[in-house]
Structure 1
Amino acid sequence: MATTSGPRRFLITGGNGFIGSYVAKALFEQGHYVRIADIKRTSYFNERISNEVLVGNLCDLSFCESAAQSMDTIMHFAATMGGMGAIHEANDFVIYKDNSTMTFNLVHAAVHRGVQRFFYASSACVYPTSLQHHGTNPISLREHDVWASAAPNPQGLYGLEKLNSELLLMQFVEKMQIRIARFHNIFGPYGAWVGGHEKAPAAQLRKALAAHMDPDTQGEIEIWGNGKQQRSFLYIDNCVEAILLLLKSDCNEPINIGSDCSVTIDYLTEIAVQSAGMNVGEFRFKYMDDSRPVGVHARNSNNEFIAKTLGWTPKISLEAGMMKTADWIRREMKKMLDGNNETARTELLGSFKTSKVIYLNRPIITFAILLPITSRGLEGPEKCLENLRAFAKSLARTTWRDTRELGLVHFQVKIYLGIDANDEFLLRRAGNSEMLNIQLLLSEEGITDVSTEICDVPRGHVCAIWRQCAHRAWKEKADYFVLMGDDVVLLDEGWMRDIHEQFTVISQHEHVPQGMGCVAFTDVTFPGMPTFPVIHRIHMDAFGGQVIPKVFINQDGDPFLFQLYRKWGCSRMIPSRLSNGIGGSLPARYIQQHTDGWTFGPLADAASALEKSLATSFPTATRKMTLDVVIPSYRVLLPFLDAILALKESPTCETMFIIIIDNPHSSKIIELEAKYAHRPDIRIRVNESNLGASASRNRGMKESAADWILFLDDDVTPQDDILVEAEKAIRSNPRAAGFIGNTFFPVASTIFTNAVHLAGVTHFWDIAAKMPQNESDMPWGVTANLIARRVQDGVEFDLQFPKTGGGEDIDFCRKKRDFSVAHGGKGFCPAPRVVATHPWWSNGQRSYWRFYMWSKGDGGLIKLYPNFTYLDHTPNSAELFLISTALTILGVFTYLFTRSSVVFLVSMGLAIATVIANIAHDMYRHLWRDMNRTKALRSSLRGIGWAVAVAESALIRMASEGGRLIGLFERGEIMLIGHRFDWFTGRAGNGPMNEEIMNGQQRMALVALIFGVLCFKFCC
């Protein structure tokens, strides 16, 4: 025997194809190591059939070298092939070139890698056609009949290539074991059955089954030729058995693997009719005696040599194999038919009743490079030629392989130069030539397919040049449109095939037409930003040949395209890199003119136009929700940001994370950018100075082009499903102005953290859990976890509020709400399942400053929203302290002139009474009157500690009231002293206001009582 015992390592080319997948499965189940190399990613089998799969082109020698590494046996099934619909004269050259290249590369790799054994899938087409013409006694083809004629005369270039490959392999019989199998019409489940590559058994079964499924049509079955052609057909299980026997044998000569029982095509069709469950007499045959290829007249395998050498004969008959194959094809047809309406079903069944002639001429995919070029803005006009030469060199280097490689597609590049009409330097002729200097330069670098567009546009209007070049390329039937600049250098080979493949992946994953989308390079000078997009002609068709709207001048055109297709989940950034010498994140050579508001009207109009185009051409394409996450960050807390940036959205939502760094001197910026700047779904921007949270959020909103924005603080830990829950909330109330999530704090375990809760300063952080779930007009929510609709309402965070926050969130929510309601929408809705956790500030260390500053800011709401304010005639603690301070000052002067300390003592007594009364009243409220409210607090504190926390909560509340009063003074709003803001903005009725007024009256009564007691004591 030729093989040793134990597992072997097999490389099976075409292992996801028909015969190759069966052999791979058999060897894998026997315990051998199986590596599949195929241009397809998967086989028909649902179960695993190999240890690994390499996807690539065997016409690429380097791929073959990689695939053959560490393998001891190569089984070469891969080929460009098919039935008579594909193997005909018109396809000869394509078939010969592809198949010979694949085999040569594999033999080269096998010898180089020291492969021990090479199995080659040859064909009965190697036999002389002279032996297979008309005759009363068809010849049974023996292996040595290849040389029966004076010279070999195989069937077409397909057969010639197979024979030449046999001869090539026999040259290496001393270096490795050679096994050659000449297959005779193998058929069975998982083989091609539609599309033109199928062989006669599958074709006739499909036609018979279609007739059976559509009984109302005329009862006829199509046959190519006169039906008298004779063939032998072998069922796949028989074939696999013979292959495995051949592998184990010492036979190094070519050997037939086929059936030696030939039948006419007429008889084969009768078997197909019976396998479909019908009677032969119910149908008549429709012979297609036109120019369709029919092949040789008679072919039959002589199995004497294989029977003698391997002891093999077929076990499964033609009829039994046809029945099994019919069952499988029937299921496949039903899969394709299910879900279609009656008209589509009838059309599909009609297509099943006929076979196609296919032509394998490779499609030529044209990449149009749209290249505006100018000699202005540089240290000298000659510099632009240096830049262009560098670009041309990089273009030639990175496209050489793609434009010359064999395979399924062929790529070509064409440059469309856009030159200003008054750029005399670039419009100079090269000597006496008709070519321009720049065209001659490109031809010197091997770039000859160049068209020049003279563009009469204002200086710096790059987008207009793009539009003009793109329109011409569209008219000239280009496939892809690459928006480039003249200072670009392409860095990575293979970007054309990578882009083409990415569009295919987009089509498959997002269920959109092939070509829909936007694919951008990785710009090493501006990581994560889609600065040089590529779009397909399907985009140009949808917009009448206009690549980007006319509102764009020289900025924002590339992100516009990326954001447009992001709405369908069809925007991608590929690893192929380029560098941009000028522009991008660096200064440009012209005055940059951004298009204000392009993320609203122009983007919305384009999306509507694209949606309308898809509704008629590809109605299954589904638009996604876009939800951006905006995170202002001063401290750049990487552990928190890591958790946020790891969040995942649902398949029906597209999310981008926008981080605005508000501390340009942070040492963590470099680390953050190193980890995340390359991701196209993350945008990191750094403010030039500390502008504050509101200004940073405003910048984040301007960076966004999404439908909705989720604001998160940089120190929250969102729940893993926050994006999914946000999407659910939005889809349940699509007309809302926004949504208020729940932001919880960790369990309060210290006196101070419990006091913070009891003081009420965190009451609105989890307001979504406290308001009715059917509420459609929430008062407001904190920006630690807030969702807002992104519309052109002019609403931003007002910078009059403090940088550290306080009131800006309420103001933002109210303005957003008012705009939405005025335009037929709703207010803010609760989203209680949109959850984040906020840590205790400074790890719970005691500090009242934050709450004091918040109140300084939110006091400004009293003037802004007089409809939500009310007058409280009883002074609060801060106002009483103000009176006490005034009395103290008066007491000082009184003492200086009268030596009387009465006024001073009165002021001190009032201050002391205020503190005691506020603490006492809060203890009364929390420990007795409203004790049921405190049960909902997340606290682990009990006993005396709880009582102390209640007392401290009064101090925090008083600090907040003090900040609010100071803010009024600083803003010159003294006349608003005594006015209070209704934090519930009327949504809870008069209850909160009445309770606050009552609390104020009770505290004032306590102050008066305690003050009286103190005065009595002092007087006595």
Structure 2
Amino acid sequence: MGGMGTIHPQNDFDIYTDNHMLTLALLRACIAAGVKGFFYASSACVYPEHLQQSTYNSDSDSDVSLKEEDAFACPQANAPPQPQGLYGLEKLNTELLLAQFKSPLDIRIARFHNVYGPGGTYMGGREKAPAALLRKAAALTLLSPSDRSVHPDLMHMELWGDGSQRRSFLYIDDAVDGILRLLRSDYTCPLNIGSDTSISIHDLCTRALECANIDPSAVEIKTIVDRPVGVGCRNSDNTLVKATLHWAPTVSIEEGMRRTYTWIHSEIRQQLEALPEGAAPRVSFVQQLQSSEVIDLSSNTVSFAILLPITSRSKSAEPSHCLENLEKFAKSLIRTTRDDLVLGEPFNGGTTRFEIRIYLAVDHDDDYLLLNRPEDLLRRLGLTNVKTQICNHPKGHVCALWRDCARSAWTDECDYFVLLGDDVEMLDNGWMRRVHDEFLSLAHGRQVPVGVGCIAFTDTSFPGMPTFPVVHRRHMDTFNGEVVPDIFINQDGDPFLFQLYRRWSCSKMIDCRVSNAIGGSVEARYEKSHAKGWTFETLDNAVARLAETLYIASPPTITLDIVVPCYRVDPTLLTRILELDAPPTLSVMFVIIVDDPNSPNIIHLERLFNHRVDVRIRVNKSNLGASASRNRGMLEESAADWVHFLDDDIVPDPNLLFEVEKVIRAHPTAAGFVGNCQFPVACTMFQAAAHLAGVTYFWDIATKMDTDLPWGVTANLIFRRKNDGVEFDLRYPKTGGGEDIDFCMLKREASIKSGGGQLEPAPKVIVTHPWWSEGKRSYWRFYMWSIGDGALVKRFPEATYGDWAPNTPEAAVVIISIFLACFLQNLTLRNLLDTVMGLGIALLALLVANVIHDLYRYLVRHPERMRELKLDSKFRGGPWLWAALVEGTFIRIFSECGRLRGVVTRKEWDAFGRRFDWFAGRWGKGPRNEERRNNVERVALWLVVWGRVRFDTITVRAQRCLRSPTQPNPRCWCGLDEHDERQSATMADISQ
């Protein structure tokens, strides 16, 4: 569409040229394709201006009504037609052109008179008068009473001209009806499709205010006489169309305005809801809506500023080598921009033309380049728009050179800023047009102002990394001419820009390639210096600043980085994660930290995924362990708001990321979320025993607790990235054990201290974890886990409790100590044998007591707990269940042994007899009391079992002693002196 903000004399030549070329191309294509019918949308602007200069005469009750034959009415004899401007002339010429093709084409021509209605343009300079006035009226309804009292000048309506100019306006439904009737008719000449009832612009303004329920007398009408106003009066004569098509408009101007207002008001309300709360953003938005724009199509030149730091210093090459690199770059720049510079791009009814401006940055002490050699070289190659900056910064501060160049280009009002290096070679033609199109596409698709975004080239030397970004002038305006903050020295500036606009899903890497000879992922000519912590405060401040200028309280896109520590390096397993679909409002990046630098699969993995901008593969220099790998992914490689930790062997649910977005939006202040980590159905004895031993209980804790979870396993764990100093503690074993609990509890504590939320369950964020080692029997993993998680007793004393009854390994230590002390009192071989036998019986009794107790717990006290486990049907009862329960006892004891070993290894003697509450008090004292009860019952059961075994043993010994009273045995194994009469009597009693 094009209202008076676009169709005015300054744009005449561009409008005529572009419209006529487009129509000719379309007509040629239709004829070549054998199209039978051709409908042409002409305009009332074909009518001569001299017929439309008069205004409404109230005395004669006359108005200017234009008949179809008036298009060729001339002010004097032999004069050519004089339509309204070159826009009208192009429409009239095309009508004449189409008349020459009536034989191959069935022509229909409609001359439209100001079509309006819902769905039409209502701002930006291309809107018709009804939409413009309705928008301004709707804007006034956004003002609160306090806004009106503080800003009384806002209660006005802007009119172009004095408001006396008259027009007729046709509602969209009537226009569609007229088109359909025309297409079904056999009429081939031009025909008016318009309303024959005109109205002044001033009266139209009154109608708009009435639609908004605003008293027109309360609003000041501000006329702007220096804006385009068009002809004085225009109305459609519908005599011919009524006779030919039996058509007439049915929607009055009042009804059409009411319907259109409803739609425009709803559109504006949606924009208002996206603004931050408060009067300032609302008032600024109203001011924007109250003014109409004038578009100048002739000024569509888009300038690209090439920001190019250059140095002759090199560790190995001669100074002249830098000019060789510069020449190679310049030739590639000419080769890849030639078409864009010559042809431009049709856009908005005109042609967008491109230009290049090169901004060189040279160090103040680079004597070789200070002789103006770089600029001379570029000018000889035909690149004349060059400016050289002499910069005084420490060596290697490339980002400072970028800032100087960008500031100069910003002062020169460049449109795009391309951050490059002198050793870069451009590889693909048409990149300027492509970058420009991508920014326009982002504005349209993401509903953001034009210029919001960051476009990166594909760096063939560092695939997947946005090393050479392009930003728009809007970025420079937002940050007062600073392209990147001064925290950046020579690294991280480009990913900073990419991550900044990622918050609005406005970061994109295009397939236009560049090649970086030096730097990137390999060694550079300077010492690389990373900006520490830029992904936190620096990035957060920039996001907040950008949100303020966009009047958006928070970015609409959630950024999530999935961090996967990977030792197996199995591309098949990782593909299941890397090919997850994500909703459009969730920006996802995958960070794979390879912890086996010698894996032969690394090359294959990089070949598959390194080209993707959303996949970052990093390889540790040595095997550091899962915790160190997660720390690297979270702190060094991620810049998102949220981090999702996954194991490298899990199978994610296809809707995983959709559920992640839902749970984050439902709990935006949460510290993190514990996902649901399922195991396949336990089909083997060992798998069932692992469930029954309780070592898998917390893997699906998200399905068992409603809120405020104590911790979750890192196989499926989501946390908010904050600069709170919390990371995975490397004091825990590399193989895992306790580090996840430690991390979760500290993260939750830090979140609550800063006013955030707690750890929430995410039961629908589902992954399936395979059984370790393909389900083969191994207790070692559980043992090693327990060595680590035993350290939690000292680490979090507030979550521990005392237990006077020892657990199985502690009881075994006590038993061994007692027998050892007894043996030390009588160091004889016989006593040694007796001690070993007695100790064996005692420990065996302890094991039997644990087995019996576990059978009792699951079969008698809590049979319902087995129903919650994913067990094969054969483990639901009978001997298979009993056998699995027995093995589960061994797994539990093995885990407790590892915990005790950790306590001894760390010399945490005061942790002996203390337990860590795995629920951290969330379920009150219930879990603690149950654990205490279990240990008491096991000890009591052991005393019963051991006492019975001991009693039987003493009985047997006593009978043996009585049968051999004269045998020279100073002391029986049972502890009785067989030569003592009193003891002999006692033996007899026992025997009986």
TM > 0.5 fold call: yes
Is 1:847 the equivalent of 2:782? no
In structure 2, the partner of 1:387 is 325
Is 1:480 the equivalent of 2:416? yes
Alpha-carbon distance between aligned partners in 2 of 1:486 and 1:389, rounded to the nearest angstrom: 9
Q: Work out which of the residue numbers 93, 111, 131 in structure 2 matches 1:183.
A: 111
Tell me whether 577-586 or 938-947 shows the greater mean CA deviation: 577-586
Is 1:680 the equivalent of 2:613? yes
Cα distance change on mapping 1:658 and 1:999 into 2, 3 Å = farther
Identity of aligned residues (%): 43
> Equivalent residues in 2 for 1:685-724 (5 A)?
685-702=618-635, 703-720=637-654, 722-723=656-657
- In the TM superposition, what whole-angstrom CA distance separates every residue of 1:252-292 from its partner, at most 9, and x where no partner exists? xxx332279988877997999899999xxx99x99999885
- In the TM superposition, what whole-angstrom CA distance separates every residue of 1:619-654 from its partner, at most 9, and x where no partner exists? 466455443322212224556544434555666654
Structure 1 contact 875–978 (Cα < 8 Å) conserved: no
In structure 2, the partner of 1:46 is none
Alpha-carbon distance between aligned partners in 1 of 2:870 and 2:653, rounded to the nearest angstrom: 18
Alpha-carbon distance between aligned partners in 1 of 2:39 and 2:948, rounded to the nearest angstrom: 104
Q: Which amino acid aligns with 2:596?
A: N
Is 1:94 the equivalent of 2:14? yes
Q: Work out which of the residue numbers 294, 301, 305 in structure 2 matches 1:364.
A: 301
> Equivalent residues in 2 for 1:460-609 (5 A)?
460-609=396-545
Unaligned runs of 5+ in 2: 56-61, 144-151, 274-278, 961-992
> Equivalent residues in 2 for 1:233-272 (5 A)?
236=175, 239-240=178-179, 243-244=182-183, 255-258=189-192
Q: Work out which of the residue numbers 444, 449, 454 in structure 1 matches 2:390.
A: 454
Cα distance change on mapping 1:413 and 1:312 into 2, 3 Å = farther
Cα distance change on mapping 1:385 and 1:519 into 2, 3 Å = same
Cα distance change on mapping 1:1002 and 1:350 into 2, 3 Å = closer
Q: Which amino acid aligns with 1:851?
A: F
Deviation of 1:618 after TM superposition, in Å, equals 1.8
SS at 1:361 equivalent: helix
Q: Which amino acid aligns with 1:811?
A: D
Is 1:946 the equivalent of 2:884? no
Deviation of 1:731 after TM superposition, in Å, equals 6.0
- In the TM superposition, what whole-angstrom CA distance separates every residue of 1:673-730 from its partner, at most 9, and x where no partner exists? 4554444333222323332212211111122223332222223334455555555655
Is 1:762 the equivalent of 2:701? no
Structure 2 contact 160–225 (Cα < 8 Å) conserved: no
Deviation of 1:756 after TM superposition, in Å, equals 0.9
Cα distance change on mapping 1:604 and 1:322 into 2, 3 Å = closer
Q: Which amino acid aligns with 1:368?
A: A
Alpha-carbon distance between aligned partners in 2 of 1:165 and 1:959, rounded to the nearest angstrom: 90
SS at 1:101 equivalent: helix
Alpha-carbon distance between aligned partners in 2 of 1:677 and 1:523, rounded to the nearest angstrom: 11
Cα distance change on mapping 1:1002 and 1:165 into 2, 3 Å = same
SS at 2:535 equivalent: coil
Alpha-carbon distance between aligned partners in 1 of 2:834 and 2:167, rounded to the nearest angstrom: 128
Alpha-carbon distance between aligned partners in 2 of 1:212 and 1:907, rounded to the nearest angstrom: 90
Cα distance change on mapping 1:152 and 1:438 into 2, 3 Å = farther
Alpha-carbon distance between aligned partners in 1 of 2:267 and 2:403, rounded to the nearest angstrom: 41
Tell me whether 410-419 or 721-730 shows the greater mean CA deviation: 721-730
Cα distance change on mapping 1:102 and 1:1016 into 2, 3 Å = same
Alpha-carbon distance between aligned partners in 1 of 2:224 and 2:114, rounded to the nearest angstrom: 24
Cα distance change on mapping 1:682 and 1:670 into 2, 3 Å = same
Deviation of 1:556 after TM superposition, in Å, equals 1.1
Structure 1 contact 888–908 (Cα < 8 Å) conserved: no
Structure 2 contact 42–112 (Cα < 8 Å) conserved: no
Q: Which amino acid aligns with 1:469?
A: C
Q: Work out which of the residue numbers 384, 392, 405 in structure 1 matches 2:345.
A: 405
- In the TM superposition, what whole-angstrom CA distance separates every residue of 1:459-497 from its partner, at most 9, and x where no partner exists? 110111111112222222233322222222333344344
Alpha-carbon distance between aligned partners in 2 of 1:454 and 1:573, rounded to the nearest angstrom: 32
- In the TM superposition, what whole-angstrom CA distance separates every residue of 1:713-766 from its partner, at most 9, and x where no partner exists? 223334455555555655666665444344332333432222112212222223
Structure 2 contact 491–528 (Cα < 8 Å) conserved: yes
Q: Which amino acid aligns with 1:240?
A: I
Is 1:157 the equivalent of 2:86? yes
Cα distance change on mapping 1:700 and 1:167 into 2, 3 Å = same
SS at 1:589 equivalent: coil
Q: Which amino acid aligns with 1:244?
A: L
Alpha-carbon distance between aligned partners in 2 of 1:369 and 1:716, rounded to the nearest angstrom: 46
Is 1:816 the equivalent of 2:747? yes
Alpha-carbon distance between aligned partners in 1 of 2:340 and 2:854, rounded to the nearest angstrom: 78
- In the TM superposition, what whole-angstrom CA distance separates every residue of 1:930-952 from its partner, at most 9, and x where no partner exists? 44544433333121111111111
Structure 1 contact 184–301 (Cα < 8 Å) conserved: no
Q: Which amino acid aligns with 2:179?
A: V
Alpha-carbon distance between aligned partners in 1 of 2:559 and 2:527, rounded to the nearest angstrom: 32
Alpha-carbon distance between aligned partners in 2 of 1:153 and 1:267, rounded to the nearest angstrom: 27
Is 1:957 the equivalent of 2:892? yes
In structure 1, the partner of 2:361 is 418
Count of equivalent residues? 910
Alpha-carbon distance between aligned partners in 1 of 2:141 and 2:693, rounded to the nearest angstrom: 80
Q: Which amino acid aligns with 2:305?
A: A
In structure 2, the partner of 1:905 is 837
Deviation of 1:587 after TM superposition, in Å, equals 2.2
Give the TM-score taking structure 2 as reference length.
0.77
Alpha-carbon distance between aligned partners in 2 of 1:413 and 1:766, rounded to the nearest angstrom: 58
Unaligned runs of 5+ in 1: 1-16, 18-80, 429-435
Q: Which amino acid aligns with 1:91?
A: N
Alpha-carbon distance between aligned partners in 1 of 2:952 and 2:742, rounded to the nearest angstrom: 43
In structure 1, the partner of 2:726 is 795
- In the TM superposition, what whole-angstrom CA distance separates every residue of 1:156-206 from its partner, at most 9, and x where no partner exists? 3334434555666677788x4474737363646569685665678989999
Alpha-carbon distance between aligned partners in 1 of 2:831 and 2:546, rounded to the nearest angstrom: 87
> Equivalent residues in 2 for 1:639-788 (5 A)?
640-647=573-580, 653-666=586-599, 668-670=601-603, 672-702=605-635, 703-720=637-654, 722-723=656-657, 726=660, 737-771=671-705, 773-774=706-707, 776=708, 778-788=709-719
Alpha-carbon distance between aligned partners in 2 of 1:275 and 1:910, rounded to the nearest angstrom: 96
Q: Which amino acid aligns with 1:399?
A: T
Deviation of 1:801 after TM superposition, in Å, equals 2.9
RMSD of aligned Cα (Å): 5.2
Alpha-carbon distance between aligned partners in 2 of 1:666 and 1:916, rounded to the nearest angstrom: 46
Alpha-carbon distance between aligned partners in 1 of 2:460 and 2:578, rounded to the nearest angstrom: 21
SS at 2:534 equivalent: coil
> Equivalent residues in 2 for 1:810-959 (5 A)?
810-820=741-751, 828-862=759-793, 864-865=795-796, 868=800, 870=802, 874=806, 876-877=808-809, 880=812, 901-939=833-871, 940=873, 941=875, 942-959=877-894
Structure 2 contact 98–107 (Cα < 8 Å) conserved: no
Tell me whether 123-132 or 985-994 shows the greater mean CA deviation: 123-132
Q: Which amino acid aligns with 1:158?
A: Y
Deviation of 1:928 after TM superposition, in Å, equals 2.9
Cα distance change on mapping 1:587 and 1:218 into 2, 3 Å = closer
Structure 1 contact 552–595 (Cα < 8 Å) conserved: yes
- In the TM superposition, what whole-angstrom CA distance separates every residue of 1:949-983 from its partner, at most 9, and x where no partner exists? 111112212322333444456x3638579445424
Q: Work out which of the residue numbers 548, 560, 563 in structure 2 matches 1:627.
A: 560
SS at 1:313 equivalent: helix
SS at 1:684 equivalent: strand
Alpha-carbon distance between aligned partners in 2 of 1:904 and 1:210, rounded to the nearest angstrom: 94
Q: Which amino acid aligns with 2:470?
A: V
